[in-house]
């Protein structure tokens, strides 16, 4: 990696001054795009330099990231020992989860909450806020599905269910019948109750569990950093829709480039590389109007192998002609339009050559992928369709 001294200086100042707007993103300007960027001047990721000897978890807390996320972004660093002046990778781009663009969307697979602020024309979101959160562990799974906020409580008391009291008693850590408000309350200072069977909430955390944000450790609830739950509490109202999804693989467009983002399985799930690849193919086809483009297969394989959660471009299409209308694939069915000519990207010569074939070509960062013959493409499409039929309920089917 190469960094300019000026760039690192700016990032170092950001560490000292704080990251007030670190979780707020502008919605994509192009209808149908779903990749959001925190710092438009940066690439797929950003960087910071540690100002002192610390842990990777300290850095996550400072930038309001989850522990799993920052460890996954920095696989070569020791999470418990970060020396002063170490360069640390931070997220910059994210692909919005597949689904409605209103209310709250919780993607359990990436430990992220997305809140679409209805501050645009006709209530359309202009900005989306994204917060790290913890989710239910394997034996206390957070449910999937659509629900809503039914009650808001400030400084809540916690009434531990009998099952949780028995669990704590068995571990030599008995709980009282009521835990009042305060720094040791597991619900933190705010709680948003969900219309689900059982006591499911989006809430804060106590001082003992603050470094567990972004991990699979709760009894099914969604746990946020104290400052994040306080901000979200003030922004939402009772009746706000909440969508709980599980999408380890996400696909989305940005400026005519198709990106893929992949995350590891949650505890209790077990997906093979072949299954991830088949699911990715089905999502790529869905994003490309049912057609499987000639994408960069090596790049996709790397994304699905490393599972770092970094959006990576695997394909580029020609921009629409001036008289063509860009379809909004999120909010409306895509109109049928003529397919533009194929664009072959040569990164060495930095020249674009127009081909006679009526399809576009993938971005290949290392070498051009071998052309896909008809039989191979047919097999890939069949695999993708099979994966689509058997996909997790965490994904949405059909037009949104």
Which residues are marked as active site? 203, 221
End-to-end CA, the chain: 39
pLDDT band at 273 (very low <50, low <70, confident <90, very high): very high
Pick the closest to residue 329 from 386, 289, 372 (CA basis): 289
Q: Taking 90 as the threshold, does the pLDDT of residue 62 lie above it? A: yes
Q: Taking 80 as the threshold, does the pLDDT of residue 223 lie above it? A: yes
pTM score, two decimals? 0.76
Tell me the mean pLDDT in the region 49-59. 95
State the alpha helices, DSSP H only, in the chain: 5-17, 56-62, 67-73, 162-170, 226-235, 273-287, 297-306, 374-389
Sign of CA dihedral 316, 317, 321, 325: negative
Sign of CA dihedral 165, 166, 168, 169: positive
Q: Taking 90 as the threshold, does the pLDDT of residue 166 lie above it? A: no
Candidate from 93-102, 162-171, 293-302 with smallest mean pLDDT: 162-171
- The percent of residues above 90 in pLDDT, for the chain, comes to 50
Higher pLDDT, 37 or 340: 37
CA distance 187 to 179: 9
pLDDT digits (tens, 9 = 90+) for 77-111: 999 999 999 999 999 999 999 999 999 999 999 99
pLDDT digits (tens, 9 = 90+) for 142-151: 778 899 999 9
The residue whose two tokens read 């020249």 is 351
Q: Other CB atoms closer than 10 Å to residue 157's CB: what's the count?
A: 13
Tell me the mean pLDDT in the region 359-366. 42
Helix axes 273-287, 297-306, angle to 10 degrees: 130
Helix axes 374-389, 273-287, angle to 10 degrees: 100
Supply the pLDDT for residue 346: 37
Supply the pLDDT for residue 168: 63
Q: Taking 80 as the threshold, does the pLDDT of residue 45 lie above it? A: yes
Tell me the mean pLDDT in the region 6-28. 53
Supply the pLDDT for residue 372: 44
Residue 320, token pair as written in the block: 């629409």
Sign of CA dihedral 116, 213, 164, 178: negative
pLDDT band at 226 (very low <50, low <70, confident <90, very high): very high
CA distance 27 to 118: 11
Supply the pLDDT for residue 93: 96
| Highest mean pLDDT: which range of 160-174, 189-203, 213-227, 379-393 | 189-203
pLDDT band at 197 (very low <50, low <70, confident <90, very high): confident
Tell me the mean pLDDT in the region 300-322. 91
Q: Are 54 and 61 in contact (CB under 8 A)?
A: no
pLDDT band at 290 (very low <50, low <70, confident <90, very high): very high
Q: Are 116 and 125 in contact (CB under 8 A)?
A: yes
Mean pLDDT across the chain? 77
Pick the closest to residue 51 from 22, 82, 18, 84 (CA basis): 84
Q: Are 116 and 126 in contact (CB under 8 A)?
A: no
Sign of CA dihedral 257, 263, 269, 270: positive
Supply the pLDDT for residue 269: 86
Longest dimension (CA), the chain: 74
Q: Are 79 and 55 in contact (CB under 8 A)?
A: yes
pLDDT band at 208 (very low <50, low <70, confident <90, very high): confident
How many CA within 13 A on the CB side of residue 196?
23
Q: Are 311 and 95 in contact (CB under 8 A)?
A: yes
DSSP-assigned beta bridge partners for residue 47: 89
Supply the pLDDT for residue 377: 56
Candidate from 130-139, 167-176, 305-314, 324-333 with smallest mean pLDDT: 324-333
Higher pLDDT, 144 or 333: 144
Q: Are 396 and 325 in contact (CB under 8 A)?
A: no
Q: Other CB atoms closer than 10 Å to residue 26's CB: what's the count?
A: 13
Q: Are 82 and 50 in contact (CB under 8 A)?
A: yes
Contacts of residue 23, defined as CB under 8 A and 6 or more positions apart, other chains included, come to 64, 129, 130, 131, 228
CA distance 174 to 255: 55
Tell me the mean pLDDT in the region 32-61. 93
Higher pLDDT, 1 or 92: 92
Higher pLDDT, 394 or 83: 83
Q: Are strands 216-218 and 127-136 parallel, antiparallel or unpaired?
A: parallel
Q: Other CB atoms closer than 10 Å to residue 169's CB: what's the count?
A: 11
């Amino acid at each position: 990696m190469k960094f300019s001294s000026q760039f690192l200086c700016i990032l170092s100042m950001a560490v000292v001054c704080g990251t007030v707007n670190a979780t707020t993103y502008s919605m994509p300007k192009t209808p149908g795009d779903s990749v959001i960027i925190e710092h438009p001047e940066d690439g797929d990721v950003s960087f910071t330099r540690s100002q002192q000897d610390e842990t990777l978890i300290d850095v996550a807390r400072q930038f309001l990231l989850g522990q799993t996320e920052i460890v996954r972004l920095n696989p070569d660093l020791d999470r418990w020992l970060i020396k002063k002046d170490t360069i640390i990778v931070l997220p910059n781009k994210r692909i919005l989860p597949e689904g409605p663009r209103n209310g709250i969307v919780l993607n359990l697979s990436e430990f992220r909450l997305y809140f679409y602020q209805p501050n645009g024309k006709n209530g359309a979101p202009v900005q989306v806020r994204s917060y790290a959160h913890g989710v239910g562990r394997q034996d206390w799974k957070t449910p999937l599905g659509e629900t809503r906020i039914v009650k808001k409580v400030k400084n809540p008391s916690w009434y531990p269910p009998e099952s949780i009291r028995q669990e704590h008693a068995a571990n030599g850590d008995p709980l009282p019948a009521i835990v009042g408000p305060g720094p040791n309350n597991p619900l933190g200072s705010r709680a948003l109750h969900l219309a689900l069977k059982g006591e499911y909430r989006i809430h804060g955390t106590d001082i003992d569990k603050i470094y567990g944000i972004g991990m699979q450790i709760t009894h099914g609830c969604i746990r946020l950093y104290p400052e994040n739950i306080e901000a979200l509490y003030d922004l939402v109202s009772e009746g706000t829709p909440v969508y709980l999804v599980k999408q380890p693989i996400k696909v989305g467009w940005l400026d005519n480039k198709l990106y893929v983002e992949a995350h590891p399985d949650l505890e209790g799930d077990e997906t093979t590389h072949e299954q991830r690849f088949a699911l990715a193919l089905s999502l790529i086809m869905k994003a490309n109007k049912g057609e499987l483009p000639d994408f960069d297969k090596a790049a996709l394989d790397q994304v699905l192998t490393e599972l770092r959660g970094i959006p990576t471009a695997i394909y580029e299409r020609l921009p629409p002609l001036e008289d063509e209308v860009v379809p909004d694939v999120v909010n409306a069915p895509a109109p049928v339009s003529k397919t533009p000519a194929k664009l072959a990207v040569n990164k060495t010569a930095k020249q674009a050559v127009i081909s006679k074939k009526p399809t576009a070509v993938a971005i290949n960062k290392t070498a051009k992928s071998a052309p896909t013959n008809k039989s191979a493409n047919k097999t890939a499409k069949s695999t993708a369709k099979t994966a689509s039929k058997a996909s997790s309920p965490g994904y949405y089917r059909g037009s949104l």
